[in-house]
Structure 1
Amino acid sequence: MTRFTRHLALAALAATLAAPAAGAGELGLQLYSLRTQMAEDLPAAFALMEKWGLEYAEGGGTLYDHPLDDYKAALDAHGIQVVSVDTSLDELRDNPMAAVFKARYFGAEYATFYWIPHDGAKGFGFDDADNAVKIMNEAGKLLKANGITLQYHPHGYEFTPHEDSTLLDYMLQNVTEAEFQMDVFWIKQGGADPVEYLQRYPGRFKSLHLKDRLPGTPDSTNGHADVETNVVLGQGDVGIAAVVAEAKRQGIEWFFIEDESSRVVQQVPASMAYLASLDEGDAD
């Protein structure tokens, strides 16, 4: 039985689950999900994660006005390991060693950035994508030499058409020294199929953000969406079951639940229970 299965079982209050399909990864939480709770009461926010049985997290880029050492101590007190730290394209361009030191401080194996600055009025263009590719290759090589894997998390604006595909395809085909993280919500929001992209680029996505979308939500390619369209996993139109099945088949290492809605405290346990039900289905 993997640790991933044990975490899901805690949330579902199941006594025992059969081992999932080979290659299943670990489950964690993107800490931005608890941004309101962390700002109000940091230890209580991490205690909530401990109650849910979540031992792994992604974040650490924003401390919500808490001292860095206090933030790390609160994580440690509740048995939470940061797997991936936040970075930015500017930091990777100007001071990539800062991302290395940040990752080393938290004991993380990944550093992830989530946005490529661009002119919102003009949209995301080839020069934006090409510049990001160059920075990712240069910084990714440095991070890799220091034991850290760099990841980029697309936000849907990368679906700008380019030649016979998109700028996201251009990036996936030309980044050689870094990896990608798929937020399945944003792939869907951009008008694409997350499973199809996983299959098109097997091995390029090292982690997933699991986030579902309210049916009927209009697509967009500007990287923005109403956070209240985040719903319990399995209740939206992203196709979470198929995504998880394909990700497990590929042996993707990390699954991070992200829920940006105001209902996060209620929805995360329900999402974990849904993932546990998928595992039960695998065992049938």
Structure 2
Amino acid sequence: MKKSQLAVQLYTLRDYLKTAGAVDRAFARIREIGYEAVQISGVAAPLAAVKKAADDNGLVICATHAATPDLLGNRAKVADELAMLGCKHTAFSCVSDFQIIDRGAVLEFAGEMEKAAQELNQHGLTFSYHNHNMEFGKIDGEYILDLIYANAPHMLAEIDTYWVQYGGCDPAEWIEKYAGRQILFHLKDFRPLFFTATTAPVGTGNLKWQEIIPAAEKAGAQWFIVEQDSCAKNPFDSLKDSYDYLTKNFVR
């Protein structure tokens, strides 16, 4: 990967992004660490302020996680927002349990995702699906995530390494399975705890990055987006730990 392909998923910093001024300060710190791009999610400040802060701090907006109501009912708004941000990629952030409770629900959900993908494609945009752990359950012997992708062929994959592992599967295998269908790729490490687990800076958990990163590069990932849902210390410090590990071990 190139250093310019590393990005921050802003959900990591959601508590620091509530006003325009806060966004500008956060973006300055992101740029100081060395990141050159961000993915918008969990930002309370107006999008126009986010765009200005990105421009002022020399950050590319590589992608967004669009609001679910807009993806389902106002996709023109999603396209307009992406145009304003100078961005070509968005994704669906999180499925609800009721949307994947049985095969019929999964197929209905996938059908809506396919409609969103086709409409956004008409605007020259890409639409990806961000997995969590629930999609690695099975219905009639098939992984739910496979069912979703099979029935939304125009939708890309935004594989999240932590949640694949949490779902009991191998991140590198799933990246390889959907090679050629990935532009956005979420990096977060997996730290086991008593009866559960938590997210961790890349390189400090038990994920096999020497297998994962080459698989993602081979699969065609364009953006390597660092995210940490919860941080044991200041999230900016966690983001720096991930950045330092990735640049030391994988940036060429």
Matched, 1:175 2:152: yes
Match of 1:35 in 2: 14
SS at match of 2:179: coil
Matched, 1:211 2:192: no
Q: Which runs of 5+ in 1 are unaligned?
A: 8-25, 220-225
Letter in 2 for 1:56: A
Matched, 1:155 2:136: no
TM-score, structure 1 normalization:
0.80
The structure number with the bigger radius of gyration is: 1
Listed as ranges, the matches of 1:1-284 within 5 Å are 4-5=2-3, 7=4, 26-39=5-18, 41-59=22-40, 61-64=41-44, 66-119=45-98, 124-216=101-193, 218=195, 229-262=198-231, 263=233, 264-279=235-250
TM-score, structure 2 normalization:
0.89
Shift in Å, 1:37: 1.9
SS at match of 1:115: coil
Letter in 2 for 1:146: H
Identical residues among aligned pairs (%)? 25
CA distance in 2, matches of 1:277, 1:51: 17
CA distance in 1, matches of 2:77, 2:223: 23
Q: 1:147 to 1:218 in 2, by over 3 A?
A: farther
CA distance in 2, matches of 1:52, 1:90: 34
Q: 1:269 to 1:100 in 2, by over 3 A?
A: same
Bigger RCO of structures 1 and 2 (CA < 8 A, at least 6 apart): 1
Match of 1:17 in 2: none
Task: Show structure 1 runs of 4+ deviating over 6 A.
Answer: none
CA distance in 2, matches of 1:116, 1:177: 18
Q: Between Structure 1 and Structure 2, how many residues are aligned?
A: 248
Confirm or deny: 8 A CA contact 1:210 1:240 kept in the other structure: no
RMSD between superposed Cα atoms in Å: 2.2
Superposed CA offset, 1:173-203 (max 9, x none): 2211111101100111111111111222222
